[in-house]
């Protein structure tokens, strides 16, 4: 029987985004405040995902052994380190979150049966790497607050209540929506990025957060004048709104996850032809916020 297990680790480290071949002005234009010397720091949280068969002791791996490997190969070397100098990999390529996930995979894969590396730079930004050449996944988490009503205009109030329950009440109700946008792309061998993080954030803010935040979706977002704004339909519409703007950043939109409440969430993928294996790509448990 194959199982996937996850081991969590953490370390605190600093880094700086600076390319010596660029001028100070060009560095600032590309990396913003991240160019400031001597750098800035993060409390990184790492999830190492591994797969294997259950042994006679009911384990995939002895977690004490896993802990020892991760400490020896990663956390003891990176904790309280200046990342740009600590490993040779980071002297050629900037230690971005996505490139760090790539490097951590290759530092651990000879010791552990890896299926995914997830690295949180902070609770609203993380990267995944699954061993697929130089392709990585980067997720930005954000939020907006909005109201909606679930009702089909051609049905009576009683009929809508039979389908949607309290959600059909005329004045609607609201949610603090949490949105996770995952993009994928090839890691640049010099910048360590799959896309400009600032451009990604602008695209999400411009096309989703600003037009959706503090609105009554049925009335303020034209699309939902004819489409019932269920969590599923909202996620699909966000995916469609972001597809082209994300592509313009150089990345590809991979997935949109919309969390309507602690009890309800939905995920939609950018391509309806995405393979089941891709859609079920292993993910570590979500980081607590």
Do the beta carbons of residue 93 and residue 192 sit within 8 Å?
Answer: yes
180 is catalytic: no
Closest CA to 180 of 250, 253, 107, 248: 253
237 is catalytic: no
Do the beta carbons of residue 175 and residue 145 sit within 8 Å?
Answer: yes
Distance CA 127, CA 121 (A): 8
Which residue has 């552990």 as its token pair? 112
Instruction: Record the tokens describing residue 253, joined without a space.
Output: 């939109």
Distance CA 281, CA 132 (A): 12
Task: Say which of 98, 178, 260, 270 is annotated catalytic.
Answer: 260
Cβ contacts of residue 142 below 8 Å, gap of 6+? 124, 178, 179, 181, 204, 205, 208, 209
Distance CA 205, CA 188 (A): 24
Cis amide leading into 38 (omega within 30): yes
Do the beta carbons of residue 116 and residue 129 sit within 8 Å?
Answer: yes
Chain center to CA of 9: 18
3 is catalytic: no
Task: Say which of 167, 186, 232, 267 is annotated catalytic.
Answer: 167
Distance CA 135, CA 59 (A): 31
SS3 89: helix
List active site positions.
167, 214, 260
């Amino acid at each position: 029987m194959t199982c996937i297990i996850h081991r969590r680790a953490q370390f605190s480290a600093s880094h700086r985004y600076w390319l010596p071949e660029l001028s100070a002005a060009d560095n600032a234009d590309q990396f913003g405040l991240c160019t400031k010397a001597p750098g800035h720091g993060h409390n990184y949280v790492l999830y190492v995902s591994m797969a294997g068969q259950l042994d006679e002791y009911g384990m995939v791996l002895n977690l004490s052994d896993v802990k020892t490997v991760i400490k020896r190969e990663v956390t003891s070397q990176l904790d309280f380190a200046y990342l740009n100098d600590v490993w040779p990999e980071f002297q050629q390529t900037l230690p971005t979150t996505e490139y760090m996930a790539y490097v951590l995979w290759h530092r651990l894969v000879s010791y552990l049966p890896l299926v995914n590396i997830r690295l949180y730079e902070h609770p609203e930004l993380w990267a995944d790497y699954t061993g697929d050449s130089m392709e990585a996944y980067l997720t930005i988490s954000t939020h907006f607050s909005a109201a909606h009503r679930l009702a089909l205009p051609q049905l009576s109030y009683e009929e809508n209540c039979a389908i949607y329950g309290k959600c059909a009440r005329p004045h609607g109700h609201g949610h603090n929506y949490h949105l996770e946008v995952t993009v994928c792309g090839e890691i640049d061998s010099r910048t360590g990025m799959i896309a400009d993080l600032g451009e990604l954030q602008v695209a999400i803010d411009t096309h989703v957060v600003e037009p959706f935040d503090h609105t009554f979706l049925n009335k303020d977002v034209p699309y939902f004048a004819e489409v019932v704004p269920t969590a599923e339909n909202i996620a699909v519409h966000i995916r469609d709104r972001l597809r082209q703007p994300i592509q313009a950043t150089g990345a590809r939109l991979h997935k949109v996850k919309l969390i309507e409440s602690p009890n309800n969430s939905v995920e939609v993928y950018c391509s309806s032809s995405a393979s089941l294996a891709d859609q079920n790509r292993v993910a570590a448990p979500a980081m607590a916020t």
